[in-house]
């Protein structure tokens, strides 16, 4: 059942600390500063294929592998047939929560025809993807009933973070951040003011989400979740792309959620974009770990604990899940079964 929560989605958002503990269990060795997964992972290059929310996790995965020095690229599964074919020792990684998504299964079949080895990253033991791929990495999030993917996304990103770490030497900072992540997600759940933000902006004309680097897939995912369950117009943009077009949509009636973590170059540049939207009188909601001064330019702040950049994305995403959820609840939407959508999409 829903254990007292009004919707499965809210229950599953709150199950994220547990889902992440299960995902991490037995896989990170803090003493040795190492990650060990029961898959062979030593590719020359990686291509990810996935759809929807899982594609956003794949974008994070590609970013994290690049950081670890492995060339990696994420493709929408439905567009994979027209992509450059894998070469040599390439590994094609299918990221699919259900393990049954037709587009992803057919992209993986195409990859095998092209001679690639395949790895499934999935939540469902015995799913089609796990039977068809050479290897499987389970994300262990537990069953997800709400159509909108929440805890499975968090677990996918953590599984892909671990995968990237297996290729690096000692990774004590990242491992400590992974160890602290479930507790930090709990801290976000306990302190979030997302409901107040939802209340203030529920009647807006459209909702925009911006970020750079790992915060870019978070912006895309924030917008996808928002449009799926609120039925309102929501778009995610790479923060730097705003001025190349989307800025024309920005008005005082379009709140902009800016995902800004750390205090480096990316944060500084996103803050520049925040000033651009502010100059158009758009309300700004900063989702931030408080390391930069983005809060000075924001109408609202959704705080996340300070952590490693690699885990901050998961924390920021929890805030955006809650904003989407509370907005949809205020609008009286069918949150666990949004119109026109199915949990598992078995047609191409
Ligand atoms: C979004 C959502 C969909 C799925 C997509 C892929 O909340 O649930 O976008 O992420 O249909 O599904 P899987 O991961 O099962 O391949």
Query: What is the mean pLDDT of the segment spanning 26-46?
Result: 92
* Residue 84, pLDDT above cutoff 90: no
Instruction: Tell me the best of 345, 346, 347 to mutate to test the pocket of ligand 1, counting ligand atoms within 8 Å of each CB and taking the most.
Output: 345
CA of 256 relative to ligand 1 center, distance in Å: 24
Average pLDDT, the chain: 95
pLDDT digits over 143-171, tens only? 999 999 999 999 999 999 999 999 877 78
pLDDT digits over 183-199, tens only? 999 999 999 999 999 99
Residue nearest to atom 5 of ligand 1 (CA): 52
Helix axes 309-330, 172-191, angle to 10 degrees: 20
Instruction: Tell me the C-alpha distance between 252 and 254, whole Å.
Output: 6
Predicted pLDDT at 229: 97
User: pTM here?
Assistant: 0.97
Instruction: Tell me the best of 101, 124, 144, 228 to mutate to test the pocket of ligand 1, counting ligand atoms within 8 Å of each CB and taking the most.
Output: 101
Query: What is the mean pLDDT of the segment spanning 259-288?
Result: 97
Query: What is the mean pLDDT of the segment spanning 98-114?
Result: 96
3-state SS class at 251? coil
The minimum-distance atom of ligand 1 relative to the CA of 147 is 8
3-state SS class at 318? helix
Residue nearest to atom 10 of ligand 1 (CA): 53
Measured between alpha carbons, how far apart are the two ends of the chain, in Å?
32
Which residues lie closer than 8 Å to 80 by C-beta, 6 or more apart?
49, 107, 110, 111
**Which residues are tagged catalytic?**
343
297: left (phi over 0), alpha (psi -120 to 50) or beta: alpha
Angle, alpha carbons 225-229-230 (nearest 5°): 105
* Residue 30, pLDDT above cutoff 90: no
CA of 101 relative to ligand 1 center, distance in Å: 8
3-state SS class at 296? helix
Instruction: Tell me the best of 50, 52, 102, 105 to mutate to test the pocket of ligand 1, counting ligand atoms within 8 Å of each CB and taking the most.
Output: 52
* Residue 132, pLDDT above cutoff 90: yes
The minimum-distance atom of ligand 1 relative to the CA of 97 is 14
Residue nearest to atom 3 of ligand 1 (CA): 52
332: left (phi over 0), alpha (psi -120 to 50) or beta: left
CA of 309 relative to ligand 1 center, distance in Å: 25
Predicted pLDDT at 19: 98
Answer yes or no: is the ipTM higher than 0.95: yes
Instruction: Tell me the best of 58, 97, 338 to mutate to test the pocket of ligand 1, counting ligand atoms within 8 Å of each CB and taking the most.
Output: 97
Residues in contact with ligand 1 by the CB-under-6-Å rule are 51-54, 96-98, 101, 104, 148-149, 224, 228, 344-345
CA of 152 relative to ligand 1 center, distance in Å: 9
CA of 340 relative to ligand 1 center, distance in Å: 13
Distances (CA, A) of 196 to 27, 175, 257: 38, 34, 14
**Under 8 Å between Cβ of 282 and 251:** yes
Instruction: Tell me the C-alpha distance between 100 and 91, whole Å.
Output: 20
The minimum-distance atom of ligand 1 relative to the CA of 225 is 7
The minimum-distance atom of ligand 1 relative to the CA of 344 is 15
CA of 344 relative to ligand 1 center, distance in Å: 7
Residue nearest to atom 7 of ligand 1 (CA): 148
Q: Which of 251-255, 332-336, 342-346 comes out lowest in average pLDDT?
A: 342-346
Instruction: Tell me the C-alpha distance between 325 and 228, whole Å.
Output: 10
Instruction: Tell me the C-alpha distance between 117 and 40, whole Å.
Output: 11
- C-alpha closest to that of 321 among 3, 9, 7: 9
CA of 272 relative to ligand 1 center, distance in Å: 33
Angle, alpha carbons 15-21-22 (nearest 5°): 90
């Amino acid at each position: 059942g829903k254990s007292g929560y009004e919707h499965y989605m809210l229950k599953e958002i709150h199950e994220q600390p547990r889902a992440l503990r299960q995902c991490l269990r037995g896989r990170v060795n803090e003493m040795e500063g190492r990650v060990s997964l029961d898959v062979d992972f030593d590719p020359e290059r990686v291509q990810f294929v996935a759809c929807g929310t899982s594609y956003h996790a794949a974008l994070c995965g590609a970013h994290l592998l690049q950081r670890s020095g492995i060339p990696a690229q994420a493709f929408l599964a439905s567009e994979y047939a027209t992509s450059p074919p894998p070469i040599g020792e390439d590994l094609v990684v299918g990221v699919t929560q259900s393990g049954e998504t037709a587009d992803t299964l057919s992209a993986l079949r195409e990859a095998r025809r092209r001679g690639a080895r395949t790895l499934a990253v999935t939540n469902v033991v015995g799913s089609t993807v796990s039977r068809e791929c050479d290897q499987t990495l389970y994300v262990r999030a537990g069953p997800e009933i709400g159509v909108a993917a929440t805890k499975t996304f968090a677990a996918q990103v953590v599984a892909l973070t671990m995968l990237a770490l297996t290729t690096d030497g000692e990774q004590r900072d990242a491992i400590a951040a992974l160890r602290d992540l479930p507790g930090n997600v709990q801290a976000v759940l306990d302190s979030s003011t997302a409901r107040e933000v939802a209340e203030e902006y529920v009647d807006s004309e459209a909702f925009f989400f911006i970020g750079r680097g790992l915060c870019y897939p978070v912006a895309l995912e924030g917008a996808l979740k928002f449009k799926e369950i609120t039925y309102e117009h929501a778009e995610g943009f790479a923060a730097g792309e705003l001025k190349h077009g989307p800025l024309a949509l920005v008005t005082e009636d379009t709140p902009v959620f800016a995902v800004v973590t750390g205090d480096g170059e990316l944060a500084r540049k996103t803050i520049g974009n925040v000033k651009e939207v502010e100059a158009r009188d758009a309300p700004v909601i900063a989702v931030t770990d408080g390391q930069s001064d983005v809060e000075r330019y924001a109408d609202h702040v959704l705080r996340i604990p300070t952590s490693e950049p690699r885990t901050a994305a998961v924390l920021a995403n929890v805030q955006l899940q809650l904003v989407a959820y509370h907005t949809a609840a205020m609008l009286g939407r069918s949150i666990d079964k949004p119109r026109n959508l199915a949990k598992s999409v078995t047609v191409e």
